[in-house]
Amino acid sequence: MEQHQPAGASRGEPAVYQITVKGQLSADWSAWFDGMTITRDASGATLITGPVADQAALHGLLRKVRDLGLTLLALSSSEPINEHNPYRSSKGDT
């Protein structure tokens, strides 16, 4: 099975991931999710966004989603963080 990683992930730079889950989590859960940003949207979902060091860290975050019994709605990533473009999309959007 082919694995897709954000460009630059092989250089050891953290990529920004956004995990979308069903339900409303408060910002207090940020510490549980390794300091990631917790944002509630109008549709009743919660966005968990922030840098993820590597695939092992990503799997750890997804395990936390599972352990809380949350329904995973979406997972997306963008290019690794750098000083010139902290949150550039892997699709070339800025």
Question: What does residue 4 show for φ and ψ, rounded to 5 degrees?
Answer: -110, 130
CA-to-CA distance for 32 and 93, rounded, in angstroms?
30
- Residues 28-80 have pLDDT tens digits of 999 999 999 999 999 999 999 999 999 999 999 999 999 999 999 999 998 76
Given pLDDT bands bounded at 50, 70 and 90, which one contains residue 90? very low
Give the type of residue at 94: T
Where residue 55 falls (left for φ over 0; alpha for ψ -120 to 50; beta otherwise) is: alpha
Question: In the chain, what are the domains?
Answer: 14-79 (3.30.70.1560)
CA atoms within 13 A on the CB side of 58: 17
Give the type of residue at 12: G
